[in-house]
Amino acid sequence: MKKRFNPIKDKSSEIIEFLMTSPDMPDDEALRFKLRLSIEEAVENVVRYAYDGGIGWLEAGTSLDHDSLVLTIELRDAGIPFNPLEKDDPDITLGAEEREIGGLGIFLCKKMMDSINYRYENGNNVLTMSKKIR
Protein backbone atom coordinates (compact mmCIF):
# COMPACT_ATOMS: atom_id res chain seq x y z
CA MET A 1 0.00 0.00 0.00
CA LYS A 2 1.53 3.29 -1.08
CA LYS A 3 0.42 6.87 -1.66
CA ARG A 4 2.05 10.11 -2.78
CA PHE A 5 1.25 13.31 -0.89
CA ASN A 6 1.88 16.54 -2.79
CA PRO A 7 2.42 19.10 -1.37
CA ILE A 8 3.24 17.84 2.11
CA LYS A 9 2.94 21.17 3.90
CA ASP A 10 0.50 20.76 6.83
CA LYS A 11 -0.16 17.11 5.93
CA SER A 12 1.77 15.31 8.68
CA SER A 13 -1.40 14.05 10.39
CA GLU A 14 -2.91 12.87 7.11
CA ILE A 15 0.27 10.97 6.17
CA ILE A 16 0.56 9.38 9.62
CA GLU A 17 -3.09 8.30 9.61
CA PHE A 18 -2.71 6.85 6.12
CA LEU A 19 0.16 4.66 7.31
CA MET A 20 -1.49 3.71 10.61
CA THR A 21 -4.70 2.59 8.89
CA SER A 22 -2.84 0.32 6.48
CA PRO A 23 -4.21 -3.23 6.43
CA ASP A 24 -0.60 -4.31 7.07
CA MET A 25 -0.64 -2.83 10.58
CA PRO A 26 -0.89 -5.27 13.51
CA ASP A 27 -3.73 -5.26 16.04
CA ASP A 28 -1.41 -5.34 19.07
CA GLU A 29 -1.76 -1.94 20.79
CA ALA A 30 1.71 -1.89 22.37
CA LEU A 31 3.28 -2.64 19.00
CA ARG A 32 1.09 -0.06 17.27
CA PHE A 33 2.29 2.55 19.79
CA LYS A 34 5.94 1.89 18.85
CA LEU A 35 5.12 1.95 15.15
CA ARG A 36 3.14 5.17 15.44
CA LEU A 37 5.88 6.95 17.38
CA SER A 38 8.48 5.92 14.80
CA ILE A 39 6.23 6.94 11.91
CA GLU A 40 5.46 10.31 13.51
CA GLU A 41 9.15 11.08 14.02
CA ALA A 42 10.16 10.07 10.51
CA VAL A 43 7.27 11.86 8.78
CA GLU A 44 7.76 15.05 10.80
CA ASN A 45 11.45 15.11 9.83
CA VAL A 46 10.56 15.00 6.14
CA VAL A 47 7.73 17.53 6.39
CA ARG A 48 9.80 19.99 8.41
CA TYR A 49 13.21 19.68 6.81
CA ALA A 50 13.23 18.00 3.38
CA TYR A 51 11.86 20.95 1.42
CA ASP A 52 12.07 24.67 1.89
CA GLY A 53 8.52 25.56 2.87
CA GLY A 54 7.10 22.03 2.68
CA ILE A 55 6.08 22.37 -0.96
CA GLY A 56 7.52 19.03 -2.15
CA TRP A 57 6.11 15.52 -2.13
CA LEU A 58 6.38 12.45 0.08
CA GLU A 59 5.53 8.94 -0.96
CA ALA A 60 4.62 6.76 2.02
CA GLY A 61 3.83 3.10 2.08
CA THR A 62 3.76 -0.15 3.99
CA SER A 63 4.36 -3.74 3.05
CA LEU A 64 4.11 -6.94 5.03
CA ASP A 65 6.17 -10.03 4.37
CA HIS A 66 3.62 -12.70 5.27
CA ASP A 67 6.28 -15.42 5.67
CA SER A 68 8.54 -13.59 8.13
CA LEU A 69 5.79 -11.30 9.50
CA VAL A 70 8.02 -8.27 9.06
CA LEU A 71 6.26 -4.97 8.45
CA THR A 72 8.22 -2.44 6.38
CA ILE A 73 7.40 1.27 6.25
CA GLU A 74 8.98 3.28 3.45
CA LEU A 75 9.18 7.05 3.08
CA ARG A 76 10.50 8.52 -0.17
CA ASP A 77 11.02 12.20 -0.98
CA ALA A 78 13.00 14.35 -3.41
CA GLY A 79 14.03 16.89 -0.80
CA ILE A 80 17.46 17.91 0.41
CA PRO A 81 19.64 14.78 0.65
CA PHE A 82 19.84 13.85 4.32
CA ASN A 83 20.75 10.62 6.08
CA PRO A 84 19.30 10.85 9.61
CA LEU A 85 21.27 7.75 10.62
CA GLU A 86 24.59 9.60 10.29
CA LYS A 87 23.80 11.85 13.23
CA ASP A 88 25.33 10.68 16.49
CA ASP A 89 22.88 9.34 19.07
CA PRO A 90 22.19 11.83 21.85
CA ASP A 91 23.75 11.24 25.24
CA ILE A 92 20.59 10.43 27.19
CA THR A 93 22.54 10.35 30.44
CA LEU A 94 22.77 14.16 30.26
CA GLY A 95 19.96 16.45 31.34
CA ALA A 96 17.81 18.07 28.65
CA GLU A 97 19.57 21.41 29.17
CA GLU A 98 23.00 19.81 28.64
CA ARG A 99 22.21 17.84 25.46
CA GLU A 100 22.60 19.11 21.92
CA ILE A 101 19.32 19.95 20.21
CA GLY A 102 18.01 17.36 17.77
CA GLY A 103 18.52 13.67 17.16
CA LEU A 104 16.25 12.31 19.88
CA GLY A 105 13.46 11.37 17.45
CA ILE A 106 15.59 9.19 15.19
CA PHE A 107 17.24 7.73 18.30
CA LEU A 108 13.78 6.64 19.50
CA CYS A 109 13.03 5.17 16.08
CA LYS A 110 16.24 3.13 16.26
CA LYS A 111 15.23 1.79 19.67
CA MET A 112 11.64 0.93 18.70
CA MET A 113 12.17 -0.56 15.25
CA ASP A 114 14.14 -3.70 14.39
CA SER A 115 15.94 -2.00 11.53
CA ILE A 116 16.16 1.41 9.90
CA ASN A 117 17.94 2.00 6.61
CA TYR A 118 18.57 5.05 4.48
CA ARG A 119 19.64 5.33 0.88
CA TYR A 120 19.81 8.11 -1.68
CA GLU A 121 18.63 6.78 -5.02
CA ASN A 122 17.72 8.50 -8.28
CA GLY A 123 17.55 11.90 -6.57
CA ASN A 124 15.37 10.61 -3.72
CA ASN A 125 15.83 10.09 -0.01
CA VAL A 126 14.49 6.65 0.89
CA LEU A 127 14.01 5.71 4.55
CA THR A 128 12.84 2.21 5.40
CA MET A 129 11.90 1.04 8.87
CA SER A 130 11.10 -2.60 9.64
CA LYS A 131 9.54 -4.38 12.61
CA LYS A 132 8.66 -8.01 13.25
CA ILE A 133 5.00 -7.95 14.20
CA ARG A 134 4.62 -11.43 15.71
Q: In which order are the strands placed within the sheet that holds 58-65?
A: 2-5, 58-65, 70-77, 124-132, 115-121
Q: Which residues of the chain have pLDDT under 50?
A: 99
How far is Cα 10 from Cα 113, in angstroms, rounded to an integer?
26
Q: How far apart are the first and last CA of the chain?
A: 20
Q: Report the pLDDT value the prediction gives residue 85, as an integer from 0 to 100.
A: 84
Q: Report the pLDDT value the prediction gives residue 134, as an integer from 0 to 100.
A: 85
Q: Report the pLDDT value the prediction gives residue 52, as an integer from 0 to 100.
A: 82
Q: Report the pLDDT value the prediction gives residue 90, as an integer from 0 to 100.
A: 53
Residue 96 burial by Cβ neighbours in a 10 Å radius (0-12, 13-18, 19+): exposed
> Considering Cα of 47, then 58, then 20, then 92, what sign does the dihedral take?
negative
The full set of domains in the chain, from first to last, is 2-132 (3.30.565.10)
